[in-house]
Structure 1
Amino acid sequence: MCRLRSLAAPSGKPAILAAHNTSSTSVRVRWRPLSSQELRGEFQYYRITYRERGAAKDSAKELRIKDERIQSHAIFGLRPFTQYLISVQVENPAGLGPSSTVVVTTDEGVPEAPRQVSVLNVTDTTVTISWLPPSRRNGLIEGYRIYISTGNFTNATWLRLPLDNTQYTLRNLVPFTNYSVTVKAFTRSMEGRESAALAVTTDVSSPSFSSSPNSSFIFSGRVHHYLVSYRAERAAAITEVPVAADPVGREGKFLLSNLTAGTLAAPLNAGLIAGIACACCAFLLALAALAIWR
């Protein structure tokens, strides 16, 4: 069919039949071509422009399709979870016709890593951390996953939005243990990139002493020194001597010197202290009873 050249640009615009995302970085648009009356002359090409919604018009990118038989096209290299304005128009030798415009949103992508993961507080069995949301969320963040690992063991904690704040306390940890903590954001369908690993060591726990001087005690951490306390059997003054712990954990010994000959020295322990306290209380109660009886 022969088409005459015209001095008028197309009067009609392609009718957009469908526009949808095909991934987090691509969309496809489909249109209906112009009729001969709307074209007003020889077909030159389809002109497709696209830009992020809200961006300046001069930031739009352009594609040209010279085959009149093509009625759909895919656009790649877009940003995840972003709205785009896509326009389609036809050009003949006289110029461009009016455009049809549609808004399309790309699919959700992989969230960037949470930012500024830091430690707020550490105890012997807990670690409190905080973080900031990803700079590019690439979707609707539904929550965060916190991974804490030591050796070959890793535990994951899921936190779903809404959250009062982006901080969390990890509990039931082992005292004086090295841990590695990472945080990820997640959307409905995607788990985000992992934050930089945060190294943290739980505090040492307090020793659990027995009342017997000869018994052992349980302690998590490194023992730096012992405190040996003693007094004469009938004396009130208590002497305390710090003793450095053996670096390899061997049995410790300490020689008490400058003691008075013929005097019994009593090492203090929890049972002895408790006994003294009870005896004092009993004596005071006896005095009170005697005063009331009189």
Structure 2
Amino acid sequence: MMAPPQESWNGELLGYVVTWQEAGGAAGRNTSAALTAPGWGAAHAQLAALRAHTHYSVAVRAFNAVGAGPPSTPLTATTLEGAPEASPERVRCEPLSAQSIRVWWEPPPPALRGGVLLGYEVLYETVDELESQVETRRSGGMETILQALQRAANYSIAVRARTAAGTGPASEPVYCVTHEDIPGAPMDIKAAANSEDTVIVSWLAPLQKNGKIKHYTIYSRPQRTGQHSQMMVLHKDEEDEYQVEVRGLQEHQVYEFWVTAATASGEGEMSAIVARKPNARGKLI
């Protein structure tokens, strides 16, 4: 600030009043303020608590014991950019497949963007795992598709906006579950002779269930033939170990056995194949 000519003081100059307001501020919102810089020799004042990336109109008036004089010609100045002060709005999601989710949103309110929005960051992680890791995907628009996700998994998804000055707060999370898929192969299949015409087949649930297991199918066939028989066993919740007795086999004939699991999406991968004769009693192999 530069002091007015002394002949215009009309008495002892006591200081200055600095007033400012947002240029084009929204109606009904308090966008103006003032501060006093005491002393006729005051040359500057710092305006605080301003909005980032906002145009302000600033004027100065000198005052003496009688009152304040006329304001100076207003100057317009713009604050630097800052990080967004608000999160994106109306974040939504929908599963597209067993490994992909579509996410879309709307930008933060204009007055709270902090500057020019350069894009967004989508933060996502699985909900059901004890030690899940937050993944980040950047998007230049207001929609993205998350890919290579876990099958039949519940995901927590949030979005935050970013400017050149940094990222803003994340939105409240939304949740989406990827679609089920066919399961992986049952594990650790074994077969043991139980009598001259029965074999006990045992196995463990798939490591990759990819949804809710509905049932298992046990296949058997004489070795080196293409014809097979099958039987079904329902899945039991909280149970991962299974065994079933395959009956009606021919004594001294070597049989091959394998197992598949199924979800609502269909039958999954087959297990390893094991072979056993009905009359060859012994431990599981």
- The TM-score normalised by the length of structure 1 is 0.62
Do the aligned partners of 1:120 and 1:130 also contact (CA within 8 Å) in 2?
A: no
Find 1:121's aligned residue among 95, 100, 119. 95
SS in 1 for 2:180: coil
Structure 2 gaps of 5+ residues are 187-200, 220-229, 249-258, 260-285
Deviation at 1:87, TM superposition (A): 0.4
Q: Distance in 2 between matches of 1:72 and 1:144?
A: 39
SS in 1 for 2:169: coil
TM-superposition CA deviations, 1:168-203 (whole Å, max 9, x none): 110111112232222111101211111112233322
Alignment of 1:75-114 (within 5 A): 75-92=47-64, 93=66, 96-111=69-84, 112-114=86-88
* Larger-gyration structure (1/2): 1
Deviation at 1:61, TM superposition (A): 2.2
Deviation at 1:72, TM superposition (A): 0.3
Find 1:51's aligned residue among 18, 21, 43. 21
TM-superposition CA deviations, 1:29-66 (whole Å, max 9, x none): xx111121233432143121111112379963222233
Alignment of 1:48-197 (within 5 A): 48-55=18-25, 60-92=32-64, 93=66, 96-111=69-84, 112-135=86-109, 136-150=112-126, 151-160=131-140, 163=141, 166-197=142-173
Deviation at 1:102, TM superposition (A): 0.9
Q: Distance in 2 between matches of 1:191 and 1:209?
A: 44
**1:246 maps onto 2:249 in alignment:** no
Q: CA RMSD in A?
A: 3.8
Higher mean C-alpha displacement, 48-57 vs 174-183: 48-57
- The letter of the residue matching 1:187 is T
Deviation at 1:77, TM superposition (A): 1.7
- The letter of the residue matching 2:161 is A
SS in 1 for 2:166: coil
Greater strand fraction, Structure 1 or Structure 2 = 2
Do the aligned partners of 1:177 and 1:201 also contact (CA within 8 Å) in 2?
A: yes
Q: Distance in 2 between matches of 1:124 and 1:169?
A: 13
Q: Cα gap change, 1:179/1:254 in structure 2, threshold over 3 Å: closer, same or farther?
A: farther
Q: Distance in 2 between matches of 1:201 and 1:94?
A: 68
TM-superposition CA deviations, 1:232-291 (whole Å, max 9, x none): xxxxxxxx997531320332548899xxxxxxxxxxx9xxxxxxxxxxxxxxxxxxxxxx
Q: Distance in 2 between matches of 1:96 and 1:130?
A: 54
Do the aligned partners of 1:207 and 1:219 also contact (CA within 8 Å) in 2?
A: yes
Q: Cα gap change, 1:120/1:200 in structure 2, threshold over 3 Å: closer, same or farther?
A: closer
Do the aligned partners of 2:87 and 2:169 also contact (CA within 8 Å) in 1?
A: yes
Q: Which residue of 1 aligns with 2:271?
A: none
TM-superposition CA deviations, 1:49-93 (whole Å, max 9, x none): 111112379963222233111110011122222211110022343
SS in 2 for 1:100: coil
Q: Distance in 1 between matches of 2:96 and 2:77?
A: 47
Q: Cα gap change, 1:196/1:94 in structure 2, threshold over 3 Å: closer, same or farther?
A: closer
- Identity rate, percent: 23
Do the aligned partners of 2:94 and 2:176 also contact (CA within 8 Å) in 1?
A: no
Do the aligned partners of 1:91 and 1:97 also contact (CA within 8 Å) in 2?
A: no
Q: Which residue of 2 aligns with 1:8?
A: none
Greater helix fraction, Structure 1 or Structure 2 = 1
Do the aligned partners of 1:128 and 1:167 also contact (CA within 8 Å) in 2?
A: yes
Alignment of 1:11-30 (within 5 A): none
Q: Distance in 2 between matches of 1:220 and 1:63?
A: 65
**1:36 maps onto 2:15 in alignment:** no
